[in-house]
Amino acid sequence: MLIEELDVPVPERLIAQRPVEPRDSCRLLYVAADGSLKHKVFSDLPDLLRPGDLLVFNDSRVLPARVMARKPTGATIEVLFLRPLAAPEGESAADGAIGPGGETWEALARPSHRLRPGGELVLPGGERVRLTESLGGGRWAVSAPESLSLVAAMEEHGLLPLPPYIKSYPEEPSSYQTVYASEPGSAAAPTAGLHFTPELMARLTGVGVRSAFVTLHVGLDTFLPIREQVVEEHVIHTETYSVTQEALVAIRGARDAGDRIVAVGTTATRVLETLALRGALEGPPTGAGLEGSTDIFITPGHRFESVDVLLTNLHLPRSSVLALTMAFAGVQRLREAYEEAVDLEYRFFSFGDAMLAERPLTEALHAER
């Protein structure tokens, strides 16, 4: 696939800067299995799904990972904590010492050109962390003393890391969290889930739609554009996931019963397709669940093994999430849907409107369970 095929012109005026209220009042572009397009409201979702459908949500919670630190000299350094790193095996640190014995995170530090390995940064509360290793591109391994929880420091001092196309910080930071977020670890929201309200979820349960929750911690690389001329040559980001035994039972049960699996967002899709490709959705579940990492890059031509319906937002041109959505809905089919969405002035990207896409009928008829 050539990068030009991921060019879907979106006027800047259609880039949503804030969410609608209530959350489920946004517009919903319904792309039916037969290719027809219908224009709905997100609160219509119970009428568009079927009894027995299984919604699979990503319950990752966005960390307020953007922290304004300073060098001991007083210079301000913006630190964006991205993900925890494993501490070097066998190493530890005495209480109060800055070193690899406590938490170690990958972080983006700006400006970075005058930072050096071994240097210290002071967080807003006076806590000190150490830059243990340069990872390139302004990214660093940042270590904390054993007495310091970096997650707690983020919660106390940090701001939510918003996408670069959102120009102002939301009045209510909770608007960038899903109502069911429970597992802290993401640097960006799984935005397809932002449209759900507790009342809508109760209505879905009332009409026989079931739910399962998986966790995939979203990295900021999800916003990076694809720069390679051939899309498949892009190196996709790696993200960590976990799936409880309860969720595995629900997903396997839906597959065995022939019920539809509805992925809420591209992040849930990546987890489901990773599980399917690794054979984790076959046979009876064992153990306490599964966890791991995935760098699955879904592009047109991918055969979906686990997802029947995709609920997602309207995505950035030249992005890996747009490539995934095109892979599911079909390149031309999705392009036509986006063109109509632009004509009707849908709101795009993280705070924008949503799309419900069913697997194209020809693919659904030939899908193997």
277, part of any domain: yes
Residues pairing with 67 in the sheet: 79
Task: Name the β-bridge partners of 359.
Answer: none
Q: Is residue 194 part of a domain?
A: yes
Q: Smallest Cα–Cα separation from 18: which of 222, 132, 146, 174?
A: 174
pLDDT of residue 62: 95
What are the Cα distances from residue 179, in Å, to 8, 13, 23, 64? 30, 27, 10, 16
Query: Which segment of 62-71, 106-115, 185-194, 276-285 scores lowest on mean pLDDT?
Result: 276-285
The predicted pLDDT at position 267 comes to 96
Q: How confident is the model at residue 360 (pLDDT cuts 50, 70, 90)?
A: very high
Residue 162 lies in a domain: no
Q: Answer whether residue 44 is part of any domain.
A: yes
Structure tokens at 357: 């896409």
By residue range, what is the domain housing residue 79?
66-157
Q: Would you place residue 93 in the very low, low, confident or very high pLDDT band (cuts 50, 70, 90)?
A: very low
192 pLDDT above the threshold of 90: yes
DSSP for 177-243?
Answer: S-TT--EEEESS--GGGGG--HHHHHHHHHTT-EEEEEEEPPPGGGGPPP-SSBGGGS-PPPEEEEE
Number of compact structural domains in the chain: 2
Same domain, 22 and 73: no
CATH code of residue 340: 3.40.1780.10
DSSP strand pairing (66-70 vs 60-62) = unpaired
Pair (10, 34) in one structural domain: yes
Which residue did the predictor score with more confidence, 39 or 172? 39
Question: Which of these three, 131, 157, 183, is where a domain ends?
Answer: 157
Angle, CA 258 vertex, CA 256 and CA 260 arms, to 5°? 115
CATH number of domain containing 142? 2.40.10.240
For residue 230, tell me if it sits in a domain.
yes
- 311/358 Cα distance (integer angstroms): 9
pLDDT of residue 266: 97
In 3D space, the residue among 355, 346, 293 whose CA is nearest the CA of residue 322 turns out to be 355
Q: Look up residue 158 and give its two tokens.
A: 């940090």
